[in-house]
Structures are given as structure tokens and as C-alpha cells.
Structure 1
Amino acid sequence: MIVGIDLGTTNSAVACFRNGAPELIPNALGELLTPSAVSLADDGQLLVGRPARDRQSTHPAQTATVFKRLMGTGRTTQLGRHTYLPEDLSALVLASLKRDAEAYLGAAVTHAVITVPAYFNDRQRKATRRAGEIAGFTVDRLINEPTAAALAYGIHDRQDREPFLVFDLGGGTFDVSVVEVFDGVVEVRASAGDNRLGGEDFNDVVMRLARETIDPADALAGGARADRFEAVWRAAAERCRRTLSEAEEALFRIVWDGKEHVATLTAHAFEAAAEPLLHRLRDPVLRSLRDGGLRSDSLSDIVLVGGATRMPIVRRAVTRLFGRFPNASLHPDHAVALGAAVQAGLKARDAALEEVRLTDVCPFTLGVAAADHDTFGNLHHDVFVPIIERNSVVPLSRSHGFQTIVDRQTKIQFQIYQGEARRASDNVLLDTVEVAVPRRPAGEVRADVRFSCDASGLLEVDVTIPITQQTFQRVVSEGDGDADTLDARRSALAALKIHPREAAPNAAAMARAERCYESFLGDQRERIGQMVMAFQAVLDRQEPHAIADLRRELEAMLDAMEGERFL
């Protein structure tokens, strides 16, 4: 069976396509969103999802979040004695979603369509694919997040639509795609984005505003204590930002060293402080319209996707940018996963989707570094020569011819880059291909370089030397995705103690109670402490019915204290 997965910065979700429609799959807690968080518990078990996220403020050194932003960088995260790459942490989240799907569907789930930000480069896409493979999936396709959202929006009533724009602002990334639907074809005309812009950056704004009023004297002294304070501070900032999405003012509140610190923040001050972030939303929108050959007034709709689009300041910014109100009919947190499930249904050739087809684009320009002469005969190196221009429809294949520049040259080296800069070295180096050529005078030996890009945005390079009829082929790779490496990392993760799915509700309740204990004072804190001790005692007795009853009682008490729980 195949599923669609939205692997998000803040939250992830899994969905399937059955009975003619996409369907979200709940996790072990009965929730449709699983926080993209991993935490190492005191007993050495790895917690994933809400149990992990609730430990972020109490155990920041043992908890990892927002690791999607590190995909493809090779940077590692230390949890206890183990070191994890971002794709390892992502694989733990994906494996948790896989177990949830199998429990819900009652069948083995072996294949997946996984979403990525439209502006993820080749390294980031390969890292995402590896994460899926480490988790035990065969990754049939990577699909751009706004493209997935467009699928969810574009097929729900099977009507043709003039070009519309998908505005996708999530927890860590921002994507824009211009899409058109006609005769059952969902066609992406252009994509653009910013991989370092999302809800987390707006949380940073709230944190800076709060620091103008609240500043515990030793909070920034460094070390583990400062790390814990930062986690508490960030959690309070997210709660405050979400409240500002529904009210004109909100309380920023933390408990530190037994003292309560409170500041009142207004929506007006938040919007003024976030103006630089709001301005960054403009450039990707303009680029996507320019590449798609459209004006904003020719768009039939502006569709909002991603949890961060709930913020009124973002909706006002979009309204000002386009001169009209955006469409918020899609659930901002569910649209991408539902679209991924539609793509999974297309891969499985579901009968309900027989007349639906999808075309996507390559979001970056792909080319090689070359040397060229100017009009005065001077030779310039590090010149970027595009072979596949950004926003070309994929799958596609393009070629470009090159010649030797030195007499009796014995080899040609092609450095393959991804990006838009004029100087090749200012772009992202993907790989290097070196080919042998016969010794001839400069200009007599030609090399034809062909780039072929598939629907997932992955690249294959062919270099042909016509004079010798030799062809060199390379699937572009940064060198760490071979089968042996994947097997070794999959085995290493399998050897760890992963918290069993059935025990996730208990771990989540305990982690939430510990976080609330630190957040409240006085009688409320004492009540939480007593309830936690009672819950631990029931857990030790291993009586399932008693555990379930007391867990519900604990959660009801915490719900009453916290009000409506945010996700």
C-alpha cells in the first residue's frame, strides 16, 4: 500500500487515497498532526511526536525539533550518546507515521509519496528521499508542497480553473506556486520560495518583543541553564503568537526560578516588528508570476496553505499584495498531506483518478561551470552555463555543447551546479563529472552535455564525446546515499529503543504534565505534582484499564488549566 506524507518543519501528517477521496490518518493519540520532534527519555527510549515536543521546554538538551531546516547540510544533532543527521531524525518521524498508518489501515505500508518545499535544492531532496528509505519506505516520488496543496484544491470538485496561486507559509519554509487546472490536468507553471522563512521566524519576533519587557537576570548566562531558558522562552512565544492570531493582544507568560514573568504584547506591535519578514514574502511571489508570464490581476484565486497563514498579519499582507482577499477554504495544516495522498492515488492508478494528471516544474536552474572568452579575447573562468532553466516543466531533457580550450587537452571536467547566480561558484555544487578526450588542437574536440530531470526533481547527466562515440553517465549524487550506507543507518536506528506506539499516549500525558508543572505555580503546581505521582504509580502496576482511566483524568485536569490545547 502507498501513502502520502507531509514531512513538515513543525508538524507532519500521513494520508491515504481510498473510496475515491484522500483521507488523513490519525496517530496513536488520535490526532491528525504529529509534531516533528524527537526526544531521548531518561530510560533511553526515543520518543517521537507530541511526547517529544512536550519535553522541549523541560529537556531541551535531549530534544530535537526544526531539523527539517538542516536537511542536506550534513550538520548533526547530539541526543545522549548518539549523533543524528537531520535525515535520521526525519526517518524517526516517518517511521512513526508508517506505524500509525499500518495500525489504522490494517495492512503493511511499504511505499510513500513525500512532500518537500518547492525550493528544496538537490541535496535537500536527496536527504529527504534517504530519510524515507531509512524509515523503511520505497519513496515513489517527492512532490513539491504547494503542488500537493494545488492537487488537493484543484480536484476536489473536478472543475477547470484559470491560473491560481498557492501561497504556502509553514513552520519553517515559504513556497509559492502558480497552477492551472484544465481537462483533468493540474499544471504547475512556476514555483519560487524561501527555505528560511516560516512560523519559527515569527516566533523569534515575539521572543525579541518580550525581551524588551522581561529579562530574568541570569537567564542568558550560558550553558545548559541558558538552553533550558531558551526552550521555555520559545514555547511561550509560540503560545503568544497563536493567541495573537485570534486576539488584538496576548500575554507572554513564563515561570522561571519559581517566579512568574508576564508581558502584554499587542497585534500592532507584533506586525510592526515583523515587517521585515512580511516584506520577504513579496519577492518569491513576484518571481513566480514573472516566470509564469502572468500579472497578479490575471490570477483567479490566491489559496492560503500552511499553519503560519492563520496569522492575521500574514493575511493582511497577502491582501495588500494582491489587492483582494485570499482563499482560506483549504485546511492550512491538512492540505499538503491530502494532496500527497492524491498523488499516491495517481501512482497506484486509483480508478477515481483516471482522468487526473499532474505536471510540475524544476524550481532551480541547473547548469555547469565553464570558461569563455569575452569580446577582447580574454578567458574567463567560473562562468555558469544554464542547461535546464528554472521552472521548466519536468520530466525533461536538455543538452548543451562545449569544446576544449587548450591544445592537446586530455580531459574535460564538468562541475554541475544548481542556482541562479552568474558566477558558478556562487551556486550549489552538486557533483563533478570528469571525462577523457583525445589529444587534439583546442576547439576540435566537442562534448555534448545532457541533463535529464525526473518528476521528483532528481538529475541524471550524460556526457557524449562525438569524435570517439563515448558516453559517460552519472546520476548526480553527493556520495552518501549508496545502499550499504542506507542499510547501515537503518540498522543503527532499528537497534535503538523506540518508544512503542501503544505507549505513546502515556508518554505524551507524562511529558505534558511535566511541562505544565514548570509553567504553573502554587496550588495548581501542587495538584499536578500529586497527579503525576499517582499516574507513575499506576504505570508501575501495568494495569491497562487503570492507566487509561487515570490518564483521561490527568488530561482533563490539564485541559482545564491550560484552556484549549494548541498544536
Structure 2
Amino acid sequence: MAVFGIDLGTTYSCIAYVDDVGRPTVLRNLEGTDTTPSVVFFESPDNVVVGATAKDSAVLEPDLVVSRIKRDMGHDVPRVRHGRPYTPEEISAFILRKLADDARTDTGEPVEDVVVTVPAYFGAAERDATHKAGQIAGLNVIDIISEPIAAAITYGLLNPERDHTIVVYDLGGGTFDTTVITLRGGDIEVVCTDGDHELGGADWDDRLVEHLAERFEQEHPDAGSPLLDKQSEQQLRRDAEDLKKTLSARTQHVVRVMHEGRVATVEVTREGFAELTRDLLDRTVEITRRTLDTAAAKGVTSYDHLVLVGGSTKMPAVAETLQKELQLEPRLQDPDLAVAKGAALYAFEETYRRLLRAGEHDRAEDMAARAGLSPDQQERIAARTIKTVASRGFGIVVTDRDTRRRTVEHLVHANDALPAAVTRDFYTVDPGQTGVDVEVMEQAGSVESGELEDNGLIAEGVLRIPPGKPAGWPIEVTFALDTAGLLQVTSRERETGEALELRVQIGGMSEEDVAESRAALSKVQVS
């Protein structure tokens, strides 16, 4: 009974499982690498290519390639390829299918039950979209967990000797978050989290792209910008990513920028690269400081380690700056693979615990035996708890009866302990109202605000009211946010003898949409 953990990344993804000696193991793809580029090439309406080949195809056929789709999760921004619009969930499903198919080839076992990780700062809509991407890919998504929790599970496995309080600094390809976590006797508790899901290593790449293009234009002002030609731009992006990686090992490197038959030779130093991107790194430090301040308000003021996760933390400037600014010793911990390994461990342990709770002790024991777990290890797994917090605040739009001003009243707040269930009464504004609009809002900025523009609409619906009711008629609203960060909103009109209930589904795709996409995309070949 194999279960798998998937790190679905902005730029690279990978999949892992617990092997027959109880170790979390990353499975290599058919190309022989641990990580797969999160790039999709729509070769034809019936054939999709994912990974390194797709990334290479971006240079020659950029209009048929999609990358960085993770940044669009939870948003209605379809990409049209071969005349068909594909949602972010569907494009992510192709990446998940590639990972699952390659893992099945590697292990000889079907990939069905999975845990998928998301950035800690992902909101309800993004988490729901990730869950639906897994469903479209034909997978049973056991749970959605935050990347820092997955990293902390791996950290706990590698450092079992004592309890720890750690800061997880997670700088991936497209997202950044920082999380304070305590590990006590094997239990994991998130104290607080913060982040920016539009800040990541891809932004460092973009700065290099702009710099290289600018240097080319300075040398060849009559040739135009390479950024105005899609093929030249894609090649430049490949060169910029390679340059970034090279500057992690070398102090300088030379790049040849080619466009319109012209060539510019550009030398970039590690120091120069750090200066180009100083403000980006400073933003991560600012968010980390804010997280430490929030933790301090909760009574956590000392730390054992600053754990660096995500491939972008391999840039030397990251560790150097964090140590200087925060006076914490950074520890680079398997940055590319730690999240997938932690997700695999979580998937294994959660499946084991669910079997025990369901009374299926024989299956649980068989699962433990296959992984070579001792009775003590089984006992620890059965007892382990993981506690997390809300990444953002959630509320509904309310209208002042006198001024008619519309604001957001939050029922769940950022860093509230999960699961959270809050019920509150709200009231109609006008006499004789036959319905109320239920508008579910999510905190958009780093600070909670009641202003509409500081929040994003993630779901809406209409609850009908019996006729003839006076103004101020009560409406009960319940927000239930589970440990995966998925939100369920229930709005109820209470009256003797009857009750009307509206369930608001978070996310752009309905369950019917998901089923249709799963059926349609199952006919598409993914390689």
C-alpha cells in the first residue's frame, strides 16, 4: 500500500515515497533526474509533454508552452492552447500526471493516494485549486499540507535527538514564506507564518533577464530588444537561470546574448548579481522579521536553527544576509528535496493513523511491516500530532444600515489555530428583503484590513429570506477552516419550523467541472 508525497513547485516538482526500510525516497523521473521542470508543452490537442523537453521547447515554440502556473492557482486565468482554454488546475494536473506516471514506472506500483504540498501563505482558493488539480489528474488527494510543515517533518527525522524551535525560510521558484515551528516529542506545531506567493527565485531570474537584455541593447542599439522576440526571450530566460545557478558556485561568469544575428558578451559577477536583486532579498528579510515579531507576541523568542528550504536558498547571498541581519545560523537542509520527502512521510503516517482509527489494524500492521518499522516507531507515529495556523484572515462583506458603507468583517484571522470554526449572527439591512448576498472575502495584504480593496472575493452566493421580515432579521454564518486550510462557509436563515442553508464552494471550478475535466484530460497523452 504505497502512498506518495508531491512537491508541486512553481519551477520544479518532485515526488517521493517511504521505501521498504522506512526512509523517505525521492523517485527519479524517466529522464533520470530527481526534479521535473513544472513546464507544460502542448505539442498537439491530444499530446502534452511535461518537464525538461517542454522547457527546451519553449525556445522554439513559446506560444505552446506554459510555465510558472502555480502563481495562477486559485485564479480564473485560463491559457488557450490549440483553441482550447485550460485552467490552472488542468495545467497543474498534467504536471501531477507526469510525476505519478514516472513514479509508477520506477516503483512498479500504481500512484493513487497522495499528499500535495503548497506554500504556507497559500489561501483557501489556491489550496482548493491544488486539491482539484490532483482530482483532475486521477489522484486521491489525502491531504494538502504546507511546505514548511513538510520540511519540518524531514528536519525532525534528521534531528531526532531533542526538541527544537526552528524558523523555516522557504524560498522556492515562485513563492516565499517563513514559518516558526516547534518540535516537541515528535509533535509539530506551527506558531505563525507569513509570506508572499508572488516572490521567488523566478524573480531573481527576471532581474538577470532584464540586465542581460539591457546590456545587449547598449552594445547593439539598432538591433532592438531581445525581449520583443519570443524565441530570443525564451533563450535569454534559459541563459539567466543557468547563470544564476553558476553564480552559486563561481564568483563570475560570462554569458553570450544573441538576437537578430548579433552577439553581446556580458560578464556578471556574484557581487553584481547580489546588488541587482538586493531589494528582493530584503523583502524576504522584512517578512521574516515580521514573522519573528508575531512569534514573540505569542511567547516564542529563541530558536535552535534557521532552516533553509527551496532551491533558491542555495544562492550564497541568502545565507550571508540572513546570518548578518537576523543573527541566526542558517542550515541548508536538502533544499530541493526536503519538502517532497516530508510530504511522503506525512502521507505514510497519516494513512497509518487513519487505518488505526478505522479499526483496520491488520492493514496498518502490514503497512508498518513493509516499511520495517519497530513497535516503538509505530507507537510514535500513532501518537504524533501536527498543529497549524491560518495563513490569512477570512470574512464576509457587511453593510452598515445607516451609512450603507460596505466593509469586511473577519471571522477567522491570520495565525489563528486550526481547525477553526466560528459562528456569528449578521442582520439584514432593509425590511422585506427576500435574499442576502453572501460574499466571502480573503485577506489580500500582509495586514488584516476591513477595507474591500484590501481583500479578495473568493466565493459568493445568495441566501433567500422568507418574505415580510423586518430589517435586522438574523442570519447565521459559520466559517469552518480545516487543518489543510480549506474553507467551508455555511449561511443559514433561522426561523421556527424551517431553515434555509447555502453552502458556498471555494474556488473557480465546481465539482462538475472537475469531473468533466478529469474525463476529458484522461484522453490526452502525457509524456
TM value normalised by structure 2: 0.87
Q: Distance in 2 between matches of 1:129 and 1:77?
A: 19
Q: Distance in 1 between matches of 2:154 and 2:321?
A: 24
| Displacement after TM superposition at 1:340 (Å) | 0.7
Change (3 A) 1:471 1:407: closer
Residues 223, 262 of structure 2: 8 Å contact kept:
no
Residues 37, 65 of structure 1: 8 Å contact kept:
yes
Residue-by-residue CA offset, 1:187-239 (whole Å, 9 max, x unaligned): 1111111011111100111122223422254353887xx00111011111111
| Displacement after TM superposition at 1:24 (Å) | 0.9
Residues 193, 284 of structure 1: 8 Å contact kept:
yes
Q: Distance in 1 between matches of 2:57 and 2:475?
A: 57
Match of 1:218 in 2: 223
**Where does the alignment leave 5 or more consecutive residues of structure 2 unmatched?**
353-366, 369-376
Match of 1:531 in 2: none
| Displacement after TM superposition at 1:372 (Å) | 3.6
Match of 2:459 in 1: 431
**1:230 equivalent among 206, 229, 233:** 233
Structure 2 counterparts to residues 17-32 of structure 1, below 5 A:
17-18=18-19, 19-32=21-34
Structure 2 counterparts to residues 323-402 of structure 1, below 5 A:
323-328=327-332, 330-349=333-352, 351=368, 352=377, 353-372=381-400, 378-402=402-426
Q: Distance in 2 between matches of 1:54 and 1:173?
A: 23
Residues 465, 471 of structure 1: 8 Å contact kept:
yes
Q: Distance in 2 between matches of 1:53 and 1:12?
A: 13
Match of 1:64 in 2: 66
Q: Secondary structure, in 3 states, of the residue corresponding to 1:57?
A: helix
Change (3 A) 1:178 1:455: same
Structure 2 counterparts to residues 482-501 of structure 1, below 5 A:
482-483=511-512, 485-499=513-527
Match of 1:521 in 2: none
Match of 1:277 in 2: 280
**Where does the alignment leave 5 or more consecutive residues of structure 1 unmatched?**
500-567
Change (3 A) 1:440 1:56: closer
- Amino acid of the residue matched to residue 243 of structure 1? T
Q: Does 1:192 align with 2:216?
A: no
**2:158 equivalent among 138, 156, 159:** 156
Q: Does 1:307 align with 2:311?
A: yes
Residues 39, 79 of structure 1: 8 Å contact kept:
no
Q: Distance in 2 between matches of 1:58 and 1:260?
A: 19
Change (3 A) 1:299 1:266: same
Q: Does 1:182 align with 2:191?
A: no
Match of 2:102 in 1: 100
Residues 216, 225 of structure 2: 8 Å contact kept:
no
Residues 210, 265 of structure 1: 8 Å contact kept:
no
- Amino acid of the residue matched to residue 11 of structure 2? T
Q: Secondary structure, in 3 states, of the residue corresponding to 2:60?
A: coil
**1:412 equivalent among 427, 436, 442:** 436
| Displacement after TM superposition at 1:160 (Å) | 4.2
Give every structure 1 segment of 4 or more consecutive aligned residues whose post-TM-superposition deviation is greater than 6 Å: none
Change (3 A) 1:493 1:414: closer
Q: Secondary structure, in 3 states, of the residue corresponding to 1:155?
A: helix
| Displacement after TM superposition at 1:345 (Å) | 0.9
- Amino acid of the residue matched to residue 384 of structure 1? V
Select the structure of larger CA radius of gyration.
Answer: 1
Match of 1:520 in 2: none
| Displacement after TM superposition at 1:155 (Å) | 3.2
Residue-by-residue CA offset, 1:325-369 (whole Å, 9 max, x unaligned): 3111x1100011011111101221164422322112110111111
Residues 488, 506 of structure 2: 8 Å contact kept:
no
Q: Does 1:319 align with 2:323?
A: yes
| Displacement after TM superposition at 1:91 (Å) | 0.9
How many residue pairs match? The answer is 490
Match of 2:360 in 1: none
- Amino acid of the residue matched to residue 69 of structure 1? R
**1:74 equivalent among 68, 73, 76:** 76
Q: Distance in 2 between matches of 1:383 and 1:21?
A: 50
| Displacement after TM superposition at 1:497 (Å) | 3.8
Match of 1:4 in 2: 5
- Amino acid of the residue matched to residue 379 of structure 1? T
| Displacement after TM superposition at 1:276 (Å) | 1.6
Q: Distance in 2 between matches of 1:8 and 1:92?
A: 13
Change (3 A) 1:44 1:102: closer
Change (3 A) 1:441 1:146: same
Give aligned-pair identity as a percent: 31
- Amino acid of the residue matched to residue 92 of structure 1? F
| Displacement after TM superposition at 1:295 (Å) | 7.9
| Displacement after TM superposition at 1:441 (Å) | 3.8
Q: Distance in 2 between matches of 1:42 and 1:365?
A: 42
Q: Distance in 2 between matches of 1:42 and 1:460?
A: 38
Residues 449, 455 of structure 2: 8 Å contact kept:
yes
Residue-by-residue CA offset, 1:395-438 (whole Å, 9 max, x unaligned): 22111222333334443332111103321353111222433345
Q: Secondary structure, in 3 states, of the residue corresponding to 1:327?
A: strand
Q: Distance in 2 between matches of 1:62 and 1:441?
A: 57
Residues 213, 226 of structure 2: 8 Å contact kept:
no
Residues 400, 448 of structure 1: 8 Å contact kept:
yes
Change (3 A) 1:284 1:221: closer
| Displacement after TM superposition at 1:11 (Å) | 0.6
Change (3 A) 1:409 1:327: same
- Amino acid of the residue matched to residue 109 of structure 1? V
Structure 2 counterparts to residues 467-482 of structure 1, below 5 A:
467-468=495-496, 470=499, 472-478=501-507, 480-482=509-511
Q: Does 1:243 align with 2:246?
A: yes
Q: Distance in 1 between matches of 2:341 and 2:144?
A: 14
| Displacement after TM superposition at 1:60 (Å) | 1.9
- Amino acid of the residue matched to residue 206 of structure 1? L
Residues 178, 191 of structure 1: 8 Å contact kept:
yes
- Amino acid of the residue matched to residue 356 of structure 1? R
Residues 368, 424 of structure 1: 8 Å contact kept:
no
Match of 1:86 in 2: 88
Residues 227, 233 of structure 2: 8 Å contact kept:
no
| Displacement after TM superposition at 1:46 (Å) | 2.2
- Amino acid of the residue matched to residue 422 of structure 2? R
Change (3 A) 1:364 1:43: closer
Residue-by-residue CA offset, 1:503-562 (whole Å, 9 max, x unaligned): xxxxxxxxxxxxxxxxxxxxxxxxxxxxxxxxxxxxxxxxxxxxxxxxxxxxxxxxxxxx
- Amino acid of the residue matched to residue 238 of structure 2? A
- Amino acid of the residue matched to residue 349 of structure 2? L
Residues 219, 229 of structure 1: 8 Å contact kept:
no
Q: Distance in 2 between matches of 1:42 and 1:435?
A: 44
Change (3 A) 1:393 1:440: same
Q: Distance in 1 between matches of 2:94 and 2:87?
A: 11
Alpha-carbon RMSD across the aligned residues, in angstroms, is 2.4
Q: Distance in 2 between matches of 1:145 and 1:492?
A: 30
Residues 243, 250 of structure 1: 8 Å contact kept:
yes
- Amino acid of the residue matched to residue 141 of structure 1? D
Change (3 A) 1:62 1:437: closer
Q: Distance in 1 between matches of 2:458 and 2:413?
A: 16
| Displacement after TM superposition at 1:283 (Å) | 3.3
